Structure 1
């Protein structure tokens, strides 16, 4: 019989600035990261608004699941389109191109990443900053700058994500 690694319990208080970041125009709350789950998964609560949508991209390392808490989001996964509303669940397997569009003024989701690692993308210092208020950052005033697009692409590739 082999000895099995047991994870430590993790508790997280809601609506605190601890582990909360502004990623673009999204509010990202890291509920649990790979360090806390022995790399098995990570989970983020994200409040999104139009303007945060990524271009179609492909993950080579992890699957992503979205559970929609509020708002409406159109997901494009391979050739499949799905409009998700509160209570809907979406699995985006690795190696399948995907993207999404926020259809309402805001949308709130729980994003699960398995295995963990990609959660670090959303808090990378070149792409995000610690939130100082529990509210969305300002919405974008036009398309992302060429510098931000380059940073998203370069840092994404470090995490095995390709546009």
Structure 2
């Protein structure tokens, strides 16, 4: 089956409209969050609120506390390494090439229980929670690696999430 070529006659706006967002490798908003490295590639402002897209490097022992997003889904795609994912009250191991979709209202977290860093991309649909990473996270310091946070540092997340209007809750 072949498709007819679409020509610009009468459809010029399809050929000249521009709006692609291009974030080359190594660019984006990079923040350190309790030892993890997150680079926000697309924000809700970029996507008209439809998604937030993040690249993550999770060192051994790294990952967030268990939490729930009540008003958005979160999807993960592992590029390298292995991560343990919490799904409600059970865990599943995920490796390079694996995809996970966390429906809204599902208690979840990921944790690197391996011996090497894991790399993944993940997205929020709809956008919003990427703003929490940007506001809560630390700016990278050249020549250093991020360190895990003490428990009291995580207490800052609640007031920031509330101010941003995020419907997210950390759970034990």
TM range (shorter): 0.7 to 0.9
1:112 aligns with 2:123: yes
Task: Name the counterpart of 2:166.
Answer: 159
Match of 1:150 among 149, 155, 162: 155
* RMSD of aligned alpha carbons: 2.2
How many corresponding residue pairs?
Answer: 151
Structure 2: distance between partners of 1:138 and 1:118: 21
Match of 2:95 among 74, 77, 85: 85
> Which secondary structure does the structure 1 equivalent of 2:19 belong to?
coil
Task: Name the counterpart of 1:35.
Answer: 45
Structure 2: distance between partners of 1:101 and 1:21: 18
Return the offset for 1:51. 4.3
Unaligned ranges ≥5, structure 1: 1-5
Unaligned ranges ≥5, structure 2: 1-16
Provide, for residues 81-106 of structure 1, a one-character-per-residue CA deviation record: whole Å limited to 9, x for no partner. 21000000011111111122112231
> Which secondary structure does the structure 1 equivalent of 2:47 belong to?
coil
1:59 aligns with 2:69: yes
Structure 2: distance between partners of 1:136 and 1:117: 29
Return the offset for 1:29. 1.1
Could you list the structure 1 runs, at least 4 aligned residues long, displaced by more than 3 angstroms after superposition.
Answer: none
Verify the 8 A CA contact 1:71 1:103 in the aligned structure 2: no
Return the offset for 1:7. 8.1
Task: Name the counterpart of 2:138.
Answer: 129
Q: TM-score, structure 2 length as denominator? A: 0.77
Give runs of aligned pairs for residues 96-107 of structure 1, distance below 5 A. 96-104=106-114, 105-107=116-118
Give runs of aligned pairs for residues 15-26 of structure 1, distance below 5 A. 15-16=26-27, 18-26=28-36
Q: TM-score, structure 1 length as denominator? A: 0.81
